[in-house]
């Protein structure tokens, strides 16, 4: 009897979740900015909507390179005298965007994603040199820069441009 009740609750929760997911996809399809960003491999509706809502106006950044530090995806630096220590990422800025970008980077590195080609090879080479966590953070930072540049230019994802930026 208890298991039957739990299964009914689970069915209701799954139905509600499916409705929410459908609404998120509809919102992403209606917005030209998110549709443009979703042309990037590994970027889905949630990542695109999160990024667009956090950046809001892409012109407030002087360059696309400044988007990564804005979301805390750069290493912490401590310098004093002869000491120069590079630490973990700063984690300033919007935690939700940082998480979404990290998840998109994780998907791109661990699953077969169409169109990621040379960008994925760059990230895999970095994984061999620096380890998987640092490579995912670097890929997330690169993804933030690429998404910003796409949004400013109004162009869809181009693997050749992304690889040129990553090289």
**pLDDT (tens digit, 9 = 90+) per residue, 109-157?**
887 777 777 778 888 888 899 888 888 888 899 999 999 999 999 998 8
What is the helix (H) or strand (E) element at residue 59, kind and residue range? none
Dihedral angle of Cα 19, 112, 156, 98, to the nearest 10 degrees: 70
User: What is the reported pLDDT for 164?
Assistant: 61
**pLDDT (tens digit, 9 = 90+) per residue, 40-63?**
888 999 999 999 999 989 999 999
**pLDDT (tens digit, 9 = 90+) per residue, 66-122?**
999 899 888 888 888 888 888 888 888 889 999 999 999 888 888 777 777 777 888
pLDDT band at residue 30 under the 50/70/90 scheme: very high
Give the pTM: 0.82
The region that residue 113 occupies, defined by phi over 0 for left and psi between -120 and 50 for alpha, beta otherwise, is: beta
Q: DSSP state, 80?
A: E
Q: Is the dihedral of CA 93, 99, 100, 103 positive or negative?
A: positive
User: What is the reported pLDDT for 21?
Assistant: 93
Q: DSSP state, 75?
A: E
């Amino acid at each position: 009897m208890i298991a039957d009740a739990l299964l009914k609750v689970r069915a209701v929760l799954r139905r509600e979740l499916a409705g929410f997911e459908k609404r998120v996809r509809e919102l992403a399809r209606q917005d030209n900015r998110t549709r443009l960003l979703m042309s990037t491999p590994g970027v889905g509706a949630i990542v695109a909507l999160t990024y667009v809502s956090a950046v809001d106006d892409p012109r407030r950044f002087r360059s696309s390179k400044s988007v990564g530090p804005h979301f805390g995806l750069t290493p912490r630096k401590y310098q004093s005298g002869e000491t120069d220590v590079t630490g973990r990422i700063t984690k300033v800025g919007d935690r939700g965007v940082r998480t979404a970008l990290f998840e998109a980077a994780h998907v791109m590195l661990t699953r077969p994603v169409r169109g990621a080609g040379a960008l994925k090879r760059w990230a895999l080479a970095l994984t061999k040199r620096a380890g998987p966590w640092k490579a995912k953070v670097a890929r997330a930072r690169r993804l933030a820069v690429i998404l910003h540049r796409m949004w400013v230019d109004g162009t869809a994802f181009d693997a050749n441009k992304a690889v040129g930026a990553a090289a």
